Structure formats: C-alpha cells, structure tokens
Amino acid sequence: MQHSVNIGIRCDAGARTGVGHLVRCVALAEELTSRGVGVHFLSDLGGLEWAERQLTSRGLPWHPAPYDTVGLLAAADRLRLDAVVVDSYVLPPAHSTALRASGRAVLAIVDGDLRGQEADVYVDQNLDAELLTPELPAGAARLAGLDHALLRRAVRDLRPPAPPLAGPAGTPRVVAFFGGTDAYGAAPVAGRLMIGTGVAFSATIVAATDELRTELLALRPTEGQRLDIIAPTDDLPSLLADADLVISASGTSTWELLCLGRAAALVWVVDNQILGYDRTTGRGLAAGLGHLPALRDSPAEVVDRMRELLLNPAARAELAARAWAAVDGQGCSRVADALLGAVRSRISVGPAR
C-alpha cells in the first residue's frame, strides 16, 4: 500500500511567518518518503532561498499554495492525494473540513489551540501538551508531548548515545541562531550580551539578513572573545552538535537542541513562544534569558546569567543531561505510523481519488 500513497503538506514560510512550520513538516516528509510514500508540498515560501532549498535539496515536489477550498481540493485531486498535513496558524478551518469531506485523511500539527481545524489526527509536539484535553471530533486521535517532536534526520543522526559530560574549563564554543529569518533582530542582542560578560568565548552567530550581518560585524569583542558571523546554513545541526552552549529563540528548534543534548539559553521573541519558554526553562531543560525587548540594553542580571553559563562547564553539563533525556528523536516515526493508519482507515471506507 505504501508505494501508492500520496500525501500533501500544506504549510508556509516567510520573513514574518518564520520557518518553524516548514522545518517540522520537512522532518515528517523525510520519514514518509523513506517509507515509499509520495509527498507534495503546497506552500508559499515567501521567496526565502533557504526555505526553498529545504525542499529542492531533498527532491520534495513543491507546488503553489492554494488559498481557497476550491483550489485546495483541485490540487488534491490533481496530485491524487490520499491525505493532507496542515500546519498553519492562519489557514481557515474550512480547508481541513473540506478535505475530510472529500474522503481524505487530515493530520493537523498544532501548538495548543486547535484553531478550529478538523482532523483525523492532531499532533501537538510541545512539552506538557499531553496534560491538555481539548475537545476533538468524533473518532479523532491526538498525539501530544515531546515523544512526538518532529525532528529532521540531520538532527536525529547527530544525537549522542549518552548525555554529554562536563568538559574541562576553557574557552566555550557558542552557537547563536534565531530561525531562518530572525525577523526581530535577536542575533545582535545575543552578541552584545556575550561581549558584556567580559569573559572568553568563541561564538558562531547566524546572521539571517545582510542588515543583521552589518550590525553584528559592528560589534567589538574584547580580548579572548571571538565572533564568527555566518549566513543561514544547512550545516547548522553539525555546528550545534559541537557547541558547548547554544543561544536561540524558544520555538520548534528547542526540541532539536534537547534531542542533541545541548546546553541552551533561550529567549522568547513573540507571544506564542512564551508558554514553551516557561515550561522548558521551568523544568530546567534550558536556561532562560527572558523576553527579547527587555534584553536590548543588556541588563546586568542577564549578563551575569550568561557569564555563569560561559564559565561553568558543570552547569552546562547538567542542562545538557536533562535536555538529552527529554527527547528521544523518534517522534517522526510515531507520527508517520498514526498518519498512515488514518489513511488505511479512509481507504478501507472508500477511495478519495
């Protein structure tokens, strides 16, 4: 059966939307294609070259995003889709309702609020999501919690077999990144915080735009401090795997950091990140730096927190061990099992095509 199944993925990316929806959908697509399933993305990628490359480099077909139910159903018919994955904060619920009414299975990836989407399977990969009990359509299933975190193969392959041990004191290697767009300019803020500690470090900072690169290059590290400014790269997982400390926004990439067993310091940038930030830092799975606007003037208490992370290998190792134990990297397999099970159930009732 699997060789004849076709699944569509409806998600977008953009300068303000970010790339989190796309990244977790790419992770699921990798798992599905490894099982012989055909995958088609129906996406507006906002002209982001990096986002487009995530699909083209993997040979994943990419089609224009339909913006009404007529167009979506027409695309589903044309591509002979048996199911559609929906991952969007703005897609009207009428789209998922129409897909189910056409006889197709729907999997909705959500973050807490179901946003009215109608689906056969809901996936909420967030920490403690299993504690919530939203009302679901009759017969629908819900996969919740970090056991269902959707992580790219490049990350899963780098997961260490055991949590990292504390290394010797020395110059820590730091990676700072804030998604594929860094729409709110967090990278220079992180750079200033590190410089403000006055202690040695060797940091790689991802500059998502030319403007951010210019701002980062204007920073003046002190003796023993090094800043390497790079563009968004597909080699980021490897950089993360070698880092002693990672500074990032609280979001979908957090679960990648946990899987890799990295000591992380998180910032929350937009409101939909605060719940994950509070839960992750509250559990001691990562250190918290706070809300981005409050960090722009490098407050003394945050600089002190950063200094402690840079100077204390044992503290970083404790964070890394708790992180490593929280995410096992098998979420894509579990979600793919559920999605293909829903497809089989639909096919047994009658073909959608």
Could you read off the pLDDT of 108-123 as tens digits, one per residue?
999 999 999 999 999 9
pTM for the full model?
A: 0.90
Q: Which domain range does residue 76 map to?
A: 2-151+329-349
Provide the phi-psi class of 284: left if phi over 0, else alpha when psi is between -120 and 50, else beta: left
Q: Output the pLDDT for position 168.
A: 74
User: What CATH number corresponds to the domain at position 144?
Assistant: 3.40.50.11190
Which residues, given as ranges, of the chain have pLDDT below 50?
Answer: 1-3, 351-353
Is residue 336 packed enough to be buried (19+ CB in 10 Å), middle (13-18) or exposed (0-12)?
Answer: buried
Farthest CA pair distance, the chain: 69
Same domain, 304 and 341: no
**Looking at the chain, which runs of residues are DSSP E strands?**
6-11, 38-42, 62-63, 83-87, 105-109, 121-124, 141-144, 173-177, 201-206, 225-230, 245-249, 264-268, 287-291
Q: Output the pLDDT for position 163.
A: 86
Run of H or E residues at 281: helix 274-282
Q: Output the pLDDT for position 1.
A: 40
Same domain, 95 and 159: no
Same domain, 93 and 212: no
How do strand 201-206 and strand 141-144 relate by DSSP bridges?
unpaired
Same domain, 162 and 47: no
Same domain, 126 and 263: no
Q: Output the pLDDT for position 349.
A: 65
Distance (Å, whole) CA 129 – CA 113:
10
Same domain, 160 and 284: yes
Q: Output the pLDDT for position 350.
A: 58
The tally of domains found in the chain comes to 2
Same domain, 168 and 111: no
Same domain, 108 and 212: no
Same domain, 35 and 107: yes
Write out pLDDT tens, residues 202-253: 999 999 999 999 999 999 999 999 999 999 998 999 999 999 999 999 988 9
Distances (CA, A) of 81 to 42, 76, 210: 11, 5, 40
